[in-house]
Structure formats: C-alpha cells, structure tokens
C-alpha cells in the first residue's frame, strides 16, 4: 500500500501492464477527491516532519495529526480516512515513538499510535499504547475506540502469566471504559466487559439510579446463560444494586433466586414501608418460603399474608366473577357420549376399580379449591364413593376430598373430621393425607396438620403411617418455621428422621421410602447435609437385593430434593453416593446432580447427560473384544438368564427392580428386538432393559452360571433424560435445543430412554400446551410399547394442566376410544382429562412465577417427584397401590390469577379487594432495548380479578393507582396515586 500511494504518478505515466496493479489504482484515482488528496498529503508531510531531526516541530505536528484524526472519528460508517491513510506509516510511527525523548511528546505520540492500532494486525497495541499515553478522557477518540479497547481487554486479561502490576494497569483502564459506557447508555457493554474479566463488583460504583433497572434486568437475563458459579454472581450483583437504590422488593426476588433465606430476613429488616413489607410477605408465600415474624410490629399481618391463609377467599371471588362455582362431575369432563362408540358394546366395565379411582381423582382435580362438589359434600354419598374402591383405592379416594377444600383449613378440617373416626384404616389414612393436602401451601399458626398427623407417624398400622407421613411432607414443604425445624419431640423433621431407622414391623419399605420423600419436600433446596447423611446411611445399611425394592428409590429422591438448585454444594454427596452398589448408586448420584442444577440451563451438565444417554449396555468390555458378534449376543442372553427375577421385572419396568409386574400390565415389551437376522435366543436386543427382557423370555437352555454381567445402568439413563428436561427448563433457548435432542433420543435411544422422553418433554412446558409438543406426545400415546404410551398420556395431562385447551381435550377424547380395552391406559387418559380441567381451567402447575423469573422449589420438587415415579410406573403409580403418589402434584397447583388489593381505610393495617382496569397481553422481552419500550403487545382491557395465561403479562390501564410491585401477578397491593388527575370529559352544550 505504501508503494502504491507514493509511486502513483509514476504508475500512471508508465501505464503498467500488470492488470492487478491497474485494478487497484484506477478505482483509487476515481475515489480520491481533492479533499482526500490534500488530507493524505498533509498526513504524509506530518509523518515526514516527525522523522526529521528538528524536535521542536514534533509537538505541533502530533497535535495537528491528533486534531485531523479526531475530526473524522465521529462518523463510524466506514474506516475513517485519516486512519486509512496513516495505516502504511504504522511501523514508522512506532519507530518515531521509540526515538522521542520528551515525556509529554512521547505520551501524545503513544495516544495516536493507540488509535492507529485499531486498523493494524498487532494484537493489544491499542491497550499497550493507551497505558503509555497521556490518559486523556477515553471517550475523546470516539465510541468505536472504546469498544475496541474493551474487546482487547478481555483477551489480554485472560492471558497466562499476567503480572499483578500489569493487572492493576488493565484494571484502571477497565474502570475508565466502564465509566464511559455507563455515561453513554451502553450499560450492556459495560456489564459484558466486567463479566468477561470476572470483576462485576466494580459495577456497583458506576451504576446510577436512572439506569439501575436496565442493568439489573440484563444481569438477571444473562444468569441462565452462564455456567456456575458465574450465574450466582450475576444475581448477587443485581441484588446489591437493587439494595443500593432501596428497591427492596426486587432485591428480595434476587435473594429468593439464590435461595438465601438469611438475606431475605435481612432485607425485611431494612424495609420500612408497611405495604411493601406486606407485598414481600405475599411474594414469599407464593414461593412457599414460610418465615417466623416474631418481634416485628406488623408480625400478625405479615404472618397472615405469608401463610396464604386468605388465598381461598380471593380464589372464590375470582370463581364467582367468572361464574364457575357450579361443581362439575367427572362425566361432565369426560363427555363420553362424544367418544366414538364401538358397534359391539364397550368391553371394559364402566364401574371397574380403576375407573372409580380415576373418577375420585378427576373430581378432586376439577373442583380443586372450590369447596363444593357433588361427590364429597354429603357424608353418605362420599362413603358410597369410597367403598366403591378397594384398600389403597379407598385411601386415594378419601384423600381427594383434600383437593376440594384446598387452602380452606377451617371448613376443610371440619369436613375431614367426619371420616377420622370410622373403623376403616384405609379411609382414615386417606383422610390424614387429605389434611396434609388442605394444609399444603398454607401455614396456619395453630398447625393443625402437625397436631393431627404426628400422632400417626409412629403408628403400629403401616397404612396409617403412609397417610400421615406423606401428608406431613405436603403440608410443610419448604417451610422454615420453628414448628417444623425444632430438633426435639414433635418437631416434624425430627419425627420423620426417626422413621428412617425404625425397626417396628409397621416400618415397611414403603413407609421408609415416603419418609425420605417427605423429608426431601420439607427440606427442599436447603442442602442440609445432616438429613441427607441420615438418608444415605439408611441406604448404605441395605443389601443389594433390598435396594432393588422400588420404595428405596424414594429415599434417593429425598436426598436429591434436599440438594435441589444448590449447584456445586451437592458435589461431595454426588461422589459419596457412587459408593452404593450399581446400578442403584449410579442412578442416585445422577439424580442428585440433575436436581442440583435444575432450572439453571447449564449447558455443560446437559452435554454430560447426553453422553450418558449414548451408552449401550450389553456385555463386559473384555468379552466384547474376544468374541464374535453372534457370541456376544449369546453371552448377553446367558448373563440375563442368570438373574431371571430381575430381568423379568425389567420387561415391564424402567428400573432394575425385582418386584413382579402387577396385573393389567403387559409382561413383554412389544417392539423391543431391533436386529432381525439373529436367532431369538441370541438376540442382542435393544441393549439395556428390553434386551434383558427378551433374553429372559427365551427358555434358559444353558444351566452353567454365566460370567458376571456389566451392571445394567439403564435406570441411570432414564434419570439422565429427565435431567435434560429439568435443567433446560431454565431458559427458552435451552428448551428449544432440548426439543431437538429429544428427537434424536427417540430415534436412536434405548427403549428405557424412549419411555422417559415424554416425561422430560412435559417438564419443558408444564401448563403450556405448545402445538409441537402436543403433537409429539399424541404420537407417543399410540406407541406399541405400553410404558411409553402410559408416560405420554400422563405427560399430555401435565402439559395442558389447568388450560382447558380445546385441541388437547379433543385429542384425549380420541385416546379414550382408542384405549377403550386397556384399563390402565384408560385410567391415565381420564386423569389427564382431569388435569387439563384443573380447577376448571383457573390453575397452573408451572413452577415459574413472578414474570417467569422465580422457580418455586416445592412446585419443581412435586413435578420432578411424579415424573420420577412414572419412570417406574408399574411398580409405583400404576401398581394398584401407590396411586396416592399423584397427590404430590398438589404442591405445584397455584391459581393463575391477578387480584388487586388496597389498604382498607375503615380498618387500617388490613387489606381489601379492589377491582381496577388492567391491560393483559403477550409479554414482550425488553432486555437491553433503548428507551422505554412497551412491555406487552396485543392487549385487552379487563377488570380484576383476571386470569393470566402462560406468557401473558398485565399492567394497570390508568394512573389512578400505583402498584407496589412491578410484576402484576397473584395478589398485588396498590396505593392511591397522589398526583392523579381524573380526565374530565366536557360535554358540548
């Protein structure tokens, strides 16, 4: 380039033959205006002056050069002309810099070289010469220069072996860059730079009140996209910024995100506005974090709001507003007269046990929280319903009354009291569970749940223990109150821990498993190592055969729930669980790991889980090398026949459990063998569970003991699939990526993986019936493998829960006529129909709330528990015994309403409902957008109370009231706007 510029006149005279030369010169000749030519000549002259010995000309030449460069740095559409013309002289300028002796001139020269370095290929010259320069305000050279510095800074900072002195210089420069960005509305770039160099603490000094909302919103939306521990640092930085500007409600939300209860208490102490404190208590109640407020002036009011004790009143007012108080019957939901009837009559008896059970559950789901129904209201009618079921069916039917009086403790307990004194233990146990269901999410100061249920925890009748232990788990999920945590007699946690080591005959594995699950629900997300250790000890005391009992899986789930969303705090436990014998140990350690990162969107963990899913479990590695393909298949068959009980169980089962399959479930797995050319006995069938089943079904011809087989870790794979859904639910991009991955897993995975995929899909969009997910699940619900079909049908219920989605209702009606012969599938279709109409379409199971930024741990725990049960449905939910586990969903059931409250002037200190106009529309992502963009689109105006669908947001329609919280959802407290001027419409005379 130097040559072309300087030899240009000669080049024209000679009329170069080289076409490339002309190609370069001709356009330049046309392009160069007189101004540009003059600028180029001036700059060439200035460089020439600098290379002359007369040092007195250096300073004026550099200053002229600086003003020429600065004059054009303002427009950034292309490379500025001065930089373009100076590029050939870059090395010359560096030489000139080395020869200058005067300090001020040297600094001025360094400044110019720093700017020129933007167009050079030399890395880090911009930074190095900036540090050597005169440290003028960084923005004087224009925004592009600052951005270039920031870009090089992140690379330079991460270089190995950077000395402390160098780091200090870079840090000083970083502070200049951040200060400039914050002043010029480039907060996003400032945050990005500090995230790159891991110094977000610097941000707090630069953020002003005017832009702190934008900065915090950006930090919080980046959190799901960053790996740990950076995601927690981002949230904690936002928390400090909110506290700096006294935004207490938002800072409480950040503290909830990182599950820091001591910080929540600390923020409560700082906030003085009584209405704000009440709104914070409501938020904690919605998130199901229950605290003690002794010592506060308004402790009673706060405790009342935090305990959700009035929730049912607001819910009933919504129901009356929507005119849906009229109770519905299961038949009104099924509308079986619309199903395609068969010409030769229905082969299943309409009054079968499973249908009665489904009717009890559906009645509970549909009328959930309304306090009126047609089956349970009259004692005699209810008893008749209960006795239509047998044994455990009676327990589940009796427990369904808890759903109907959900949240309404006074009425609900009076209704339950009728059945506490009957002779039938199953109904009594079900009523105890119903008391737990009514109390779940409500923390009454009298603690009726612990008073009534603790008496039966140590009962001599195992069935009473089942009802009371699960009831306590539901009633006190995620509670931090003294009643629950006290380490003495009658402390809920203390009593449940005693069950783990109980040796009474009534302490059957089922009771111990449920005690583990209940402890997990109560201590969810606390990372309480002591309780987890006791449960681990209980597992370690079991032999390998005892660990195959399906109930032991609930102890494992309890440990996992204790570490829900605790991220790296679970690492030690994940390792220690590997000491348990495989396949159980591998499954539990994976389960704890996925729970720890639930909802974080952590990509690295998802990759690890995908790697687990790609494994094929056939035979020992050594054997693979030594035998031919046929031999390998035969050895696999022999290895499986060595343990017929376990293999047979695996035929219907997604886990290595040695329990025989219950009636009503097919013993063979249709469509399992994948390779046609091998003889039946030597089929290397779909490796894993189905392979073992096929091998076990073949007659055991060889009586010689086979070499010990590699443990079948398919149960671990099922948990890994569920884990992908659980982790990816944290952000929308992750969810879309997970959908694609599930597509691959369905096509190429083992049967055990295919069975888990529908459940994982449902976790990605709970109560959000997206069309693509519904279509996929609908396809699976007709699968030839019964277990896959069962899981898909239940997953459809979760995806449409509480939405009344018309397309889903039609799909389920078609499914009911498709599965009319199969009682188990039909029962699940009925339950899915009940879930779709949950609370007559006013509720949601989605664990995200508060503008989809907070993930309720107890709701997530309940969804995970039920999906985990369905991994081994034939030995848990569908075994005609443990269908009561469906009630774990109760913790996730929340009304999706917006109710506005205002301080009651007649009774100061208390709140009353106020109906105001609100606009409800689709939420718009406004992160990092300039100005004040609209937050909703396509809105309609309603009067509160109003229902909010998934992905909708509300805002007040006028300025008469000011909301205490920026997120209008659930119960929202309003204040009068003192500056509001009502619009006066003058009528023409």
Residue 702: pLDDT over 70: no
- Residue 818, judged by CB atoms within 10 A of its CB (0-12, 13-18, 19+), counts as middle
H or E element, residue 322: helix 311-322
Query: Does residue 429 carry a pLDDT above 70?
Result: yes
Give per-residue pLDDT as tens, 49-69.
888 877 788 888 888 888 887
Structure tokens at 838: 């949950």
Question: What is the pairing mode between strands 917-923 and 854-855?
Answer: unpaired
Split at pLDDT 50, 70, 90, the class of 686 is: very low
For residues 403 and 441, which has the higher predicted lDDT (pLDDT)?
Answer: 403
Which candidate, 790, 608, 853, places its Cα nearest to that of 717?
Answer: 608
pLDDT in tens, 109-145: 888 888 888 887 777 778 888 888 888 888 887 788 8
pLDDT for 757: 92
Average pLDDT over residues 404-421: 82
For position 552, what pLDDT does the model report? 85
Look at residues 505, 540, 532 and name the one whose alpha carbon lies nearest to residue 516. Answer: 532
Q: How confident is the model at residue 759 (pLDDT cuts 50, 70, 90)?
A: very high
3-state secondary structure 476-510: CCCECCHHHHCCCCCCHHHHHHHHHCCCCCCCCHH
pLDDT at 799: 92
Distance (Å, whole) CA 785 – CA 787:
6
Q: What is the mean pLDDT of residues 381-403?
A: 78
Residue 229: asked if its preceding bond is cis (omega within 30°), the reply is yes
Q: Cβ distance 695 to 646 under 8 Å? A: no
Using CA of residue 747, residue 748, residue 750, residue 753, what is the dihedral sign?
Answer: negative
Q: Go through 523-537 and write b for each residue having 16 or more CB atoms within 10 A of its CB, e for each that does not.
A: bbbbbbeebbebbbe
Q: 674: cis peptide before it, omega within 30°? A: no
Q: Which two tokens stand for residue 328?
A: 């519905």
Q: Does 604 score more than 80 pLDDT?
A: yes
Please identify which residue in the block is written with the tokens 């008391």: 435
Task: Kindly give, in sequence order, each residue whose CB lies less than 8 Å from that of residue 418, ignoring residues fewer than 6 positions away.
Answer: 379
User: What phi and psi, each to the nearest 5 degrees, are found at residue 376?
Assistant: -105, -15
Extract the tokens encoding 320.
């009356």
pLDDT of 318 higher than 60: yes
865, pLDDT greater than 80: yes
Question: What does the pLDDT average to over 290-308?
Answer: 78
Q: How confident is the model at residue 758 (pLDDT cuts 50, 70, 90)?
A: very high
Taking residues 967-985, report their average pLDDT.
Answer: 83
- What is the predicted pLDDT for the residue at 78? 66
Q: Which residues pair with 553 in a beta bridge?
A: none
Helix (H, G, I), strand (E, B) or coil at 903: strand
Provide mean pLDDT across the span 174-189: 85
Whether pLDDT at 675 is above 70: no
Q: 75 pLDDT exceeds 70?
A: no
pLDDT at 652: 38
Q: Where are the domains of the chain?
A: 897-976
Q: Which tens digits make up the pLDDT trace of 868-885? A: 988 888 887 777 778 888
The reported pLDDT for the residue numbered 669 is 37
Q: What is the mean pLDDT of residues 538-550?
A: 82
Q: Is the dihedral of CA 93, 98, 100, 103 positive or negative?
A: positive
Residue 773 has pLDDT above 50, yes or no: yes
Contacts 24+ apart (CB under 8 A), 639-645: 639/695, 639/706, 639/707, 639/708, 639/709, 640/691, 640/692, 640/695, 640/696, 640/709, 641/695, 641/696, 641/698, 641/700, 641/702, 641/706, 642/705, 642/706, 642/709, 644/696, 644/700
Query: Using 50, 70 and 90 to split pLDDT, how confident is the model at 224?
Result: confident
Say which residue, 838 or 633, is predicted with more confidence: 838
**DSSP structure string for 970-988:** EEEEEEE-TT--PPP-PPP
Which tops the pLDDT comparison, 514 or 875? 514
User: Do the strands 897-903 and 936-943 form a parallel or antiparallel pair, or are they unpaired?
Assistant: unpaired
217-222: average pLDDT: 87
pLDDT (mean) for 328-334: 78
Position 795 scores a pLDDT of: 92
Q: How do strand 970-976 and strand 897-903 relate by DSSP bridges?
A: parallel
Among left, alpha and beta (phi > 0; psi -120 to 50; other), residue 374 is alpha
Q: Mean of the pLDDT values across residues 540-561?
A: 85
pLDDT for position 157: 80
The pLDDT of 718-735, averaged and rounded, is: 87
CA gyration radius, the chain:
34
pLDDT at 533 over 80: yes
988 Cβ contact partners less than 8 Å away, ≥ 6 residues apart: none
Hey, what long-range contacts does 979-983 have (CB within 8 A, 24 or more apart)? Answer: none
Q: What is the mean pLDDT of residues 147-165?
A: 80
Q: What sign results for the dihedral spanned by CA atoms 641, 644, 650, 652?
A: positive
Peptide bond into 307 cis (omega under 30): no
Q: How far apart are CA 524 and CA 573, in angstroms?
A: 15
Task: Please name the residues in contact with 531: beta carbons below 8 A apart, sequence gap of 6 or more.
Answer: 493, 497, 519, 523, 562
Least confident span in 218-227, 520-529, 621-630, 842-851: 621-630
Model confidence, pTM: 0.80
DSSP tally for the chain: helices H, then strands E: 49, 12
Question: What is the spatial distance between Cα 239 and Cα 144, in angstroms, rounded to a whole number?
Answer: 31
Q: Tens digit of pLDDT for each residue in 891-937?
A: 889 898 899 988 888 887 788 888 899 999 888 888 878 777 888 88
Q: What is the pLDDT of residues 477-506, one digit of tens each?
A: 887 777 777 777 777 777 877 777 777 777
Give residue 989's pLDDT band: very low, low, confident or very high (50, 70, 90). Answer: low
Structure-model confidence comparison of residues 348 and 170, the more confident one: 170
Please compute the mean of the pLDDT values over residues 227-232 and round it to a whole number: 81
Rounded distance, CA 658 to CA 692, Å? 13
Neighbours of 100 (CB within 10 A): 19
Task: Tell me how far apart the alpha carbons of residues 493 and 288 are, in angstroms, rounded to a whole number.
Answer: 17
- Is there a contact between 548 and 656 (Cβ–Cβ < 8 Å)? yes
**What average pLDDT does the structure give for the chain?**
78
pLDDT of residue 661: 38
Which residues does 678 contact at the CB level (< 8 Å), separation at least 6?
630, 633, 684
Is residue 377 pLDDT above 60, yes or no? yes
């Amino acid at each position: 380039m130097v040559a072309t510029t300087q030899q240009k006149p000669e080049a024209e005279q000679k009329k170069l033959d080289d076409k490339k030369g002309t190609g370069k010169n001709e356009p330049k000749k046309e392009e160069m205006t007189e101004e540009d030519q003059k600028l180029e000549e001036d700059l060439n002259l200035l460089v020439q002056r600098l290379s002359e010995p007369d040092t007195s000309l250096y300073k004026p030449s550099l200053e002229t050069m600086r003003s020429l460069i600065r004059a054009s740095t303002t427009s950034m559409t292309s490379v500025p002309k001065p930089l373009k013309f100076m590029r050939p002289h870059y090395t010359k300028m560096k030489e000139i810099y080395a020869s200058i002796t005067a300090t001020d001139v040297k600094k001025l020269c360094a400044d110019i070289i720093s700017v020129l370095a933007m167009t050079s290929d030399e890395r880090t010259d911009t930074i190095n010469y900036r540090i050597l320069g005169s440290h003028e305000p960084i923005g004087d050279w224009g925004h592009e220069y600052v951005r270039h510095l920031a870009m090089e800074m992140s690379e330079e900072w991460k270089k190995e072996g950077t000395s402390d002195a160098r780091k200090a210089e870079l840090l000083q420069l970083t502070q200049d860059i951040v200060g400039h960005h914050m002043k010029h509305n480039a907060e996003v770039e400032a945050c990005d730079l500090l995230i790159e160099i891991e110094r977000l603490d610097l941000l707090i000094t630069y953020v002003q009140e005017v832009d702190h909302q934008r900065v915090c919103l950006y930090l919080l939306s980046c959190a799901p996209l960053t790996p740990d521990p950076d995601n927690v640092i981002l949230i904690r930085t936002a928390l400090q910024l909110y506290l700096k500007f006294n935004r207490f409600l938002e800072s409480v939300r950040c503290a909830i995100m990182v599950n820091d209860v001591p910080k929540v208490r600390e923020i409560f102490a700082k906030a003085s506005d009584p209405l704000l404190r009440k709104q914070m208590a409501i938020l904690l109640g919605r998130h199901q974090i229950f605290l003690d407020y002794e010592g506060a002036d308004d402790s009673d009011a706060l405790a009342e709001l935090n305990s959700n004790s009035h929730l049912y009143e607001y819910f009933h007012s919504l129901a009356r507003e929507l005119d849906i108080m009229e109770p519905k019957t299961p038949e009104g939901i099924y509308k079986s007269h619309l199903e395609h009837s068969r010409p030769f009559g229905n082969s299943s008896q309409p009054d079968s046990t499973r249908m009665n059970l489904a009717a009890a559950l559906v009645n509970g789901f549909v009328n959930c929280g309304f306090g009126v129904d047609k089956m349970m209201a009259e004692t005699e009618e209810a008893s008749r319903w209960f006795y239509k079921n047998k044994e455990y069916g009676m327990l589940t039917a009796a427990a369904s009354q808890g759903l109907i009086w959900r949240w309404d403790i006074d009425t609900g307990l009076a209704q339950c009291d009728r059945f506490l004194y009957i002779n039938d233990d199953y109904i009594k146990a079900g009523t105890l569970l119903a008391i737990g269901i009514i109390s779940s999410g409500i923390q009454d100061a009298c603690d009726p749940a612990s008073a009534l249920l603790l008496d039966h925890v140590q009962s001599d009748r195992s069935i009473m223990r089942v009802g009371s232990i699960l009831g306590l788990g539901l009633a006190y999920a995620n509670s931090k109150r003294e009643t629950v945590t006290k380490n003495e007699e009658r402390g809920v946690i203390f009593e449940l821990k005693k069950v783990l080591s109980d040796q009474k005959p009534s302490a059957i594995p089922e009771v111990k498993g449920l005690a583990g699950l209940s402890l997990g629900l109560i201590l969810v997300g606390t990372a309480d190592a002591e309780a987890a250790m006791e449960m681990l000890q209980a597992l370690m005391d079991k032999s390998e055969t005892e660990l195959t009992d399906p109930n032991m899986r609930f102890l494992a789930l309890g440990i996992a729930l204790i570490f829900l969303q605790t991220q790296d705090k679970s690492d030690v436990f994940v390792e220690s669980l590997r000491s348990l014998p495989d396949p159980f140990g591998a499954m539990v350690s994976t389960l704890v790991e996925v729970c720890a990162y639930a909802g974080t969107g952590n990509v690295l963990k998802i990759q690890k889980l995908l790697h687990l899913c790609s494994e094929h479990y056939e035979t020992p590695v050594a054997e693979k090398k030594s035998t031919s393909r046929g031999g390998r298949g035969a050895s696999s068959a022999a290895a499986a026949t060595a343990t017929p009980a376990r293999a047979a169980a695996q035929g219907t089962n997604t886990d290595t459990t040695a329990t025989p399959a219950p009636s009503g479930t097919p013993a063979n797995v249709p469509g399992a063998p994948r390779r046609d050319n091998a003889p039946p006995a030597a089929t290397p069938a779909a490796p894993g569970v189905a392979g073992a089943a096929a091998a076990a079904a073949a007659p055991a011809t060889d009586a010689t003991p086979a070499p010990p087989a590699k443990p079948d870790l398919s149960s671990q794979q099922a948990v890994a699939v569920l884990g992908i859904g659980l982790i990816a639910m944290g952000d929308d991009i992750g969810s879309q990526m997970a959908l694609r991955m599930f597509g691959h897993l369905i096509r190429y995975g083992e049967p055990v993986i295919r069975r888990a995929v529908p459940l994982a899909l449902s976790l990605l969009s709970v109560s959000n019936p997206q069309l693509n997910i519904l279509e996929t699940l609908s396809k699976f619900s007709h699968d030839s493998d019964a277990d896959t079909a069962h899981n898909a049908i239940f997953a459809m219920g979760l995806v449409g829960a509480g939405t009344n989605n018309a397309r889903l209702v039609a799909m389920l009606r078609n499914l009911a006529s498709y599965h009319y012969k199969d009682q188990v599938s039909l029962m699940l279709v009925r339950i899915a129909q009940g879930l779709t109409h949950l609370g007559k379409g006013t509720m949601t199971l989605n664990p995200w709330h508060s503008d989809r930024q907070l993930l309720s741990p107890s709701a997530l725990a309940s969804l995970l528990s039920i999906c985990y049960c369905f991994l081994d449905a034939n030995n848990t939910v569908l075994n005609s015994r443990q269908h009561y586990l469906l009630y774990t969903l109760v913790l996730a059931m929340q009304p999706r309403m917006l109710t506005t409250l205002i301080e009651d002037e007649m009774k100061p200190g208390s709140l009353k409902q106020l109906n105001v106009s609100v606009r409800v529309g689709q939420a718009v992502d406004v992160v990092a957008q300039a100005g004040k963009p609209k937050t909703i689109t396509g809105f309609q105006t309603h009067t509160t109370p109003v229902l909010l669908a998934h992905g909708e947001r509300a805002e007040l329609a006028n300025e008469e009231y000011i909301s205490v919280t920026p997120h209008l959802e659930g119960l929202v407290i309003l204040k009068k706007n003192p500056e509001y001027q009502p619009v006066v419409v003058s009528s023409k005379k």
